[in-house]
A and B are shown apart, each in its own frame.
Chain A
Amino acid sequence: MRASDLQSSFPMVGRDTTAVQAARIIAAQDLAGLVIADRAGAPSAVISAVDVLGLMVPGYVVDDMSLAGVLDENAAEEVWDKAGQHTIGDLLDDDGVRKYELVRVDADDTILEVAARMADARAQIALVNGPLGSPAQFVTLPVLMDSIVTFCAPADAAHADA
């Protein structure tokens, strides 16, 4: 099995995507992160869903978590309204947020090669290099793990029998 057998499309967001839009995508598809497209629309980096969550919480609450409790429900609603003003661009400009470099694998890489690259980079997603102009395809961690488990299953069963 090769990387090309595991690849699929993956939602991408740009600098102008608001935190709320990004959160909707994450929530709807149960994602652990998002791929960021550069100004040309090509995938360039990965951010985690937790960082998108951080974008929705006021900075002063992130800096001092004891302040979260002093706001009542009405105030909290205003906070969520304001969260819509922040964009993924704000996140990319924040030095305190870790932007993961996009791991790239070739379409004919084996699962072991893909697993090694993703484990080394601690990446949840890898871009599969494809022909110029073709839609971006990715290997995600759950799909990769599923394939590994499928391969490992017979060995596990044999081990259990022994």
Chain B
Amino acid sequence: MSIQVILALAVFVGAYILIATEKVPRVTVALVAAALMIIIGATDERGIFFSQDSGIDWNVIFLLLGMMIIVGILQQSGVFEFLAIWAAKRAKGRPFVIMVMLVVITAVLSAFLDNVTTVLLIAPVTLLICDRLNVSPVPFLIAEVMASNIGGAATLIGDPPNIIIASRAGLTFNDFIVNMVPIIAILLVVFIGLCWLMFRKQLSFDPTMVARVMALNERETIRDKILLIKSLGVLVLVVTGFILHSVIHLEPAIVALLGAGLLVLITRLENRKIFADVEWQTLLFFAGLFIMVGGLVSLGVIEAVGQAAIEAVGDNFFAAAAGLLLGSAIFSGIIDNIPYVATLAPLVNDLVQAGGPAAEPLWWALALGSDLGGNATAVGASANVVVLGIAMRNGHPISFWTFTKYGLIVTAVTVTLCLPYLWLRYFAGG
């Protein structure tokens, strides 16, 4: 092993530790690690900007940018708050029915918006509804963030790891719909049952509070009807563009950018509002990660590990998928699933290239494990951290262990259910 490889591995491991411990902002870690990879000579400008294997994945960066712009404009319409209050009123103030409706709304929204945006939209209105019902919002907030992590796994755009997997594996929006939606729908039904078991004792129903919920005027949340129509129209067009990929031959990133451009053009909002929800730090974090992992790819480290994995797996791809699913769930519960998937994606790519179509389910195992594993602990996903912060600010603190005791149950059940799905769907016939 050369000095260059040892240094690159040291940078990589050091960056992972710093990202996991959150002592330093993750974007700083990723960018410094990327710079060190360049200084070591592990990569160069050609590798960084133009290589499909070891460079920045521009499809991922621009798909995220486009969706952030679209969602940022759409959320200003107030439609999500309208939906949540409407649902609470349809449930006639019964806490568990409200929880089920909010869980379903959150999961469906998460399939099309990023999870952090979804919980940022749903948490305040949940606090309002719980305030009116005079019940603790803690079970609702925990259920919603978990529903967000489950629902986000359903589509290509629902969770950043899926975007990375889709780009690296060449998978389309429809591939995700066909392969992920069935299991996610099952998991959502099971999750609602788990909510009943875990939270039913905390959901006392007081009929005298119903009138307070029914008095909420959801129409007041719609601030700009024209904006709502325009932004929903563009979102429908963008999703249609994703679905018609095989016909129009446009990459998801291009579809999202075209949609964002169209929305900017027809809404004519000021720049401050258009770019308010673009998380530039997240985009830079992704760029830094791609350079850091690209350094290992350029030096042949990933290929060597991939070769070892190919020999270890042989043709037992179900065992590999099970290991990848469980390992990804455990890792993603402890560390950010984005750097995890950014590192694993080239490795899985090597396995799939060597194994052919029989090994393709490994991508779904990686996606399911890394997406669902985020529920395991309070720090397993960015959305969890955001919800804990909102709960704390509003006087309903949720401790790390309170979240984690529910998270471990939900993760164990949902990930375990993925095993028979993978077996029946991809391996039982062979």
Contacts and interface: CB of A to CB of B under 8 A. Distances in A.
**B: interface residue count bin:** 20 to 34
A75 B124 contact: no
Contacts of B393: 59, 63, 94, 96
* Of B81, B85, B124, B216, most A-chain CB atoms within 10 Å: B124
Contacts of B245: none
B59 interface: no
A69 to B, nearest CB: 3
A63 B215 contact: no
Interface in A9-66: 58-61, 63-64, 66
Contacts of B216: 70-71, 75
Contacts of A150: none
Given A60-B131, A60-B394, A75-B132, A66 B78 contact: yes
A59 B395 CA distance: 9
Contact residues of B: prevailing secondary structure: helix
Interface in A59-108: 59-61, 63-64, 66-67, 69-72, 74-75, 90, 94, 96
Interface in B121-135: 121, 123-125, 127-128, 131-132
Contact residues of A: prevailing secondary structure: helix
Contacts of A67: 81, 124-125, 128, 221
Given A60-B125, A64-B81, A70 B218 contact: yes
Contact of A69 (B124, B132, B221): B221
A72 B211 CA distance: 12
Given A60-B125, A63-B124, A64-B125, A69 B217 contact: yes
A147 to B, nearest CB: 38
Given A63-B123, A63-B390, A64-B121, A70 B395 contact: no
A70 B394 contact: no
Contacts of B268: none
Nearest to B121: A64
Interface string B201-216: 0000000000010011
Contacts of B270: none
A58 B221 contact: no
B394 A59 contact: yes
Contacts of B132: 75
A67 B132 CA distance: 13
B220 A70 contact: yes
Nearest to B223: A66
A103 B78 CA distance: 42
A72 B131 CA distance: 14
8 contacts: A59-B395, A60-B131, A63-B123, A67-B125, A69-B220, A70-B85, A90-B395, A94-B393
Interface of A: 58-61, 63-64, 66-67, 69-72, 74-75, 90, 94, 96
Given A67-B81, A70-B128, A94-B393, 11 more contacts: A61-B128, A63-B393, A66-B220, A67-B125, A67-B221, A70-B81, A70-B85, A70-B220, A70-B221, A72-B217, A96-B393
Task: Give me the 8 closest cross-chain CB pairs, A-B, nearest first.
Answer: A69-B220, A64-B124, A60-B127, A60-B124, A59-B394, A63-B124, A66-B78, A66-B221
